[in-house]
Chain A
Amino acid sequence: MTGPVLEIENLSLSIGRHAILKDVDLTVRAGEVVGLVGESGSGKSMTALTVMGLLPHAARTAGSVRFIGEDLLSATEDRLCDLRGDDIGMVFQEPMTALNPVKTIGEQVAEGIRWHTGANRPEAESRARAILARVGLPEEKFPLSRYPHELSGGQRQRVVIAIACALHPKLLIADEPTTALDVVLQAQILDLLRELVAENDMGLILISHDLGVVADMADRIAILRRGEVQEAGETASVLREQKHPYTRALAEASTHVPAWANAATPPGDEHRLLELENVARHYPGHRKGLFGRGEPVRAVDGVGFSVRAGHSVALVGQSGCGKSTLARMILALDRPTSGKIVFDGMETSALGERALRPARREMQVVFQDPYGSFDPRQKIETSVAEPLHLMDERMGRREKRERVTEALVEVGMTPADRDKYPHEFSGGQRQRLAIARAIITRPKLVVADEPVSALDVSIRAQILDLFAKLNDDLGLAFLFITHDLTVARAITHDVLVMDHGKIVETGKTSTVLDHPQTDVTRRLIAAAPDLQRAITRRLTAG
Chain B
Amino acid sequence: MEEELIALEHEDWRHFTRKAFTNRSFLAGALITAVVVAVALFSFAWTPYDVTKLVIADRLQSPNAAHWFGTDHFGRDILSMIMVGSRNSIAVALIAVGIGIAVGVPLGCWAAAKRGLADEVLMRASDIVFAFPALLSAVMITAIFGPGIVNAIIAIGIFNIPVFARVARGGALALWPREFVLAARASGKRAGLITVQHILPNIANLLLVQGTIQFSLGILAEAGLSYVGLGTQPPAPSWGRMLFEAQTMMTIAPHMAIVPGLAIIVTVLGLNLLGDGLRDVLDPRLRRQR
List the interface of chain A (C-beta within 8 A of B). Answer: 40, 45, 331, 333, 353, 356-357, 360-361, 363-365, 367-369, 371-378, 383, 386-387, 389-390, 421-423, 427, 434, 437
Which residue of B is nearest A367, CB measured? B179
Chain A hits for B201, CB < 8 A: 375, 377-378
Question: Does A353 lie within 8 Å of B10, measured CB to CB?
Answer: no
Which residue of B is nearest A331, CB measured? B186
Question: Does A423 lie within 8 Å of B7, measured CB to CB?
Answer: yes
Interchain nearest-CB distance for B173 vs A (Å): 16
Q: How many A-B residue pairs have CB under 8 A?
A: 75
A393 to B187, CA, bound (A): 15
Instruction: List B residues 9-30 near A (Cβ within 8 Å).
Output: 9-10, 12
Question: Does B188 lie within 8 Å of A373, measured CB to CB?
Answer: no
A427 to B7, CA, bound (A): 12
Interchain nearest-CB distance for A49 vs B (Å): 10
List the interface of chain B (C-beta within 8 A of A). Answer: 1-3, 6-7, 9-10, 12, 178-180, 182-190, 197-198, 201-202
Q: Which of A40, A373, A387 contacts B3 (CB 8 A)?
A: A40
A537 to B279, CA, bound (A): 56
Given A376-B9, A376-B202, is A333 in contact with B185 using a C-beta cutoff of 8 Å? Answer: yes
**Which 3 pairs show the lowest CB-CB distances between chains A and B?**
A376-B10, A372-B179, A367-B179
Chain B hits for A40, CB < 8 A: 3
Which residue of A is nearest B1, CB measured? A45
Question: Does A365 lie within 8 Å of B3, measured CB to CB?
Answer: no
Q: Which of B7, B10, B12, B180 has most A Cβ within 10 Å?
A: B180
Q: Which of A373, A387, A423 contacts B180 (CB 8 A)?
A: A373
Interchain nearest-CB distance for A57 vs B (Å): 11
Which residue of B is nearest A369, CB measured? B179
Question: Does B10 lie within 8 Å of A377, measured CB to CB?
Answer: yes
Q: Which of B7, B188, B197, B198 has most A Cβ within 10 Å?
A: B188
Q: Which of B3, B183, B184 has most A Cβ within 10 Å?
A: B183
Chain A hits for B2, CB < 8 A: 371
Question: Does B202 lie within 8 Å of A375, measured CB to CB?
Answer: yes
Given A375-B202, A376-B6, A423-B7, is A367 in contact with B190 using a C-beta cutoff of 8 Å? Answer: no
A221 to B3, CA, bound (A): 26
Which residue of B is nearest A454, CB measured? B2
Question: Does B187 lie within 8 Å of A375, measured CB to CB?
Answer: no
A434 to B187, CA, bound (A): 13
Question: Does B9 lie within 8 Å of A373, measured CB to CB?
Answer: no
Which residue of A is nearest B177, CB measured? A372
Question: Does B180 lie within 8 Å of A360, measured CB to CB?
Answer: no
Question: Does B188 lie within 8 Å of A421, measured CB to CB?
Answer: no
A353 to B1, CA, bound (A): 38
Which residue of B is nearest A441, CB measured? B187
A375 to B255, CA, bound (A): 54
Interchain nearest-CB distance for B94 vs A (Å): 26
A365 to B6, CA, bound (A): 22
23 A-B residue pairings within 8 Å (CB atoms): A45-B1, A333-B185, A353-B190, A356-B188, A364-B186, A365-B183, A367-B183, A368-B179, A371-B6, A372-B179, A375-B180, A375-B201, A375-B202, A377-B10, A378-B197, A383-B183, A386-B184, A386-B189, A387-B186, A389-B187, A421-B12, A422-B10, A423-B10
